[in-house]
Amino acid sequence: MYGKGLCFGMAAAALLNFSGRATERRPPLADIPLNPNLLAVLREYQLRQFYPRTVLATTRDWVTSGGGRPDRILGRLHPAGTSLVPHILCFGPAPNRRFLYCFARAHAVVPYRIEEGRVYVYDPNYPRDRERFVEFARGEFEYGGFRSREGWGITLVPVPACGWRRRFLGERFGAGRLVAKR
């Protein structure tokens, strides 16, 4: 929708938009027309995954989870709206022979509901689909083309590790919109 390789930026923008404190009704990110200012903000958010603080938090979680093992994720997951420290859920490499393959094809989604081994997610590739979920069963996970049995790992990225704050000044792409901290 907004270009290839912006999933982390889209996931972060959606999560921050959802958790914002603005009083006016805000449209879903998918309803905002693409314009240069919005694209610039999404790219800024996308680059935050490479900030040292974010990389450290992600690496720490990856190690804590045993290299992205799904059986060590579900109990620690904070979906949107359930915690002051929500997570972005990232599919990436597990420590195996497919590490570089998976690293180059990583993907980010926003978890928002947990029900009986399923974590329902907002996926930037399918922004209007409210029935997308990650299935956790028998110590494995599966989500679309991401499966732990095929070498994929799963990691939690706590939003505060990305160094965001909320501003509702509207100077970047419309009243009540989120902008990156300067």
pLDDT, tens digit, 9 for 90 and up, residues 59-109: 888 888 888 888 888 888 999 888 888 899 999 887 878 777 777 788 999
Cα separation, 171 vs 176, in Å, equals 9
Per the structure, the count of domains in the chain is 1
Segment 24-35 shows an average pLDDT of 75
pLDDT for the residue numbered 28:
73
pLDDT for the residue numbered 19:
65
**Is the residue at 152 inside a domain?**
yes
* Parent domain of 51: 7-162
Tell whether the model's pLDDT for residue 3 goes beyond 60.
no
**Is the residue at 17 inside a domain?**
yes
**Is the residue at 72 inside a domain?**
yes
Mean pLDDT estimate for the chain? 80
Torsion angle, alpha carbons of 168, 15, 75, 120, to 10: 150
How many residues can be counted in the chain?
182
Percent of the chain with pLDDT over 90: 22
7: its two tokens = 């999933």
**Is the residue at 179 inside a domain?**
no
Tell whether the model's pLDDT for residue 166 goes beyond 60.
no
pLDDT for the residue numbered 174:
40
**Is the residue at 176 inside a domain?**
no
Which has more confidence, 167 or 57? 57
pLDDT for the residue numbered 17:
74
Q: Using alpha carbons only, what angle is made at residue 100 by residues 121 and 85, rounded to the nearest 5 degrees?
A: 35
**Is the residue at 182 inside a domain?**
no
**Is the residue at 169 inside a domain?**
no
What pLDDT digit, counting tens, does each position of 112-134 carry?
999 988 999 999 999 889 999 99
Beta bridge partners of 157: 88
- DSSP states of 68-126 as a string? T-GGGTGGG---TTS-SS-EEEEEEE-SSTTHHHHHHT-EEEEEEEEETTEEEEEBTTB
Q: What's the chain's Rg over C-alpha atoms?
A: 16
**Is the residue at 1 inside a domain?**
no
